[in-house]
Amino acid sequence: MTDWGAAFDWARRHVDAGRIPTAVLGIATADGVVALDAFGATDGRTARIDDPYRLFSITKVLTGLAAARAIERGLLTSQTPLADAVPEAAAARDDVVRLEHLMAHTSGLIEPALDPVEGLAAALRRPGRDFAVGTASRYSSIAFQGAAELIRHATGRSWEDEVRAFAPGLVLDEDADPHRIPDIEASLDLDRFAASRHPGAGAIGTAGALLALGSALLRGGADIVRPGTLEMMLRPLTTGVPRLEPYPAERGQDWGFSWNLRTRAPALIDRDVYGHAGWPGTEFWIHPTAGIAWTLLTNRANGHGLDADQLDNAIVSGV
């Protein structure tokens, strides 16, 4: 027996209070979607359960899975140097950035805006570093441009083509018509951002597409990655490494191979959880022992006042 009423009440309450314009909340098991509902409206557009949203940093785990699939095919390893695909990125450094560092936010690459005027490829090739590789973890989106270039170099295909092979419902095309994020235009040039097809932030998708991915991962990877590959992706890569903003050590999480591992999160009932969040309040989390995956899609980027740990606890308690 399950009862997720408290979880859906949480989403409805935040929409009704005006903290977020809309919310689509969905829960899945290994067998598929078990609960899904939508609340609110954006500029008069009523939210529906199959509406697309900008996922922002949830994109990172898609790129991570694409890289892991290339590892399975013998085309990359976690230790492949970024210099194999981007020799310019290494020319001014005395350390070696590897795929593992890109996935765990320990590369020390200098972080540009999400919409750099010169483009992501040029931003990746800026000389210098933030810190020596592996000596700290600071959240990085440009690192996933590095991963994307390694994927293309190894496979001959773009990262998005690789993602399309296992998650066709997660796209980058503006024709998908995602819900508008009302407060984002002042801080992001959406046209330039969309044109960059950002491998760390650019995906657009529905709750159903994410829940299908979550169900497959609950089945050990299903047709996406082998169980051993998924286990590799969930090994902590930042244990003992200083964690810098916005994810300091007291948050109780480590980075795996693109996944956020909330194994010591003080506010959570269940510590057996991995996933990722995105800038406009999007969430995608998987609880292997509880046997559930869940996603929240919404569209307010700044100051939405949501505590997703509350929602996670309500979902896990409903199992």
Domain at 59, CATH number: 3.40.710.10
Number of separate domains in the chain: 1
Say if 99 falls within a structural domain.
yes
Say if 16 falls within a structural domain.
yes
Residue 301: the pLDDT is: 87
Residue 90 has pLDDT above 90, yes or no: no
Helices (H), the chain: 5-16, 59-72, 87-91, 99-103, 120-124, 142-155, 159-166, 190-196, 207-218, 227-233, 308-317
Q: Count other Cβ atoms within 10 Å, centred on residue 94.
A: 8
Say if 240 falls within a structural domain.
yes
Contact assessment for residue 63 and residue 199, using Cβ atoms and an 8 Å cutoff = yes
CA–CA gap between residue 122 and residue 165 (Å, rounded): 27
Say whether pTM exceeds 0.85.
yes
Residue 68: the pLDDT is: 98
Say if 47 falls within a structural domain.
no
Which residue bears the tokens 């785990």? 61
Measured CA distances, 68 to 44, 58, 226, 233, 286 (Å): 41, 16, 10, 8, 18
- Mean pLDDT over residues 71-84, rounded? 98
Give the model confidence (pLDDT) of 247-305 as tens digits. 888 889 999 999 999 999 999 999 999 999 999 999 999 999 999 999 999 999 876 77
Residue 167 has pLDDT above 90, yes or no: yes
- Mean pLDDT over residues 141-153, rounded? 98
Residue 1 has pLDDT above 60, yes or no: no
| Residue-number span of the structural domain to which 236 is assigned | 5-42+52-317
Residue 209 has pLDDT above 60, yes or no: yes
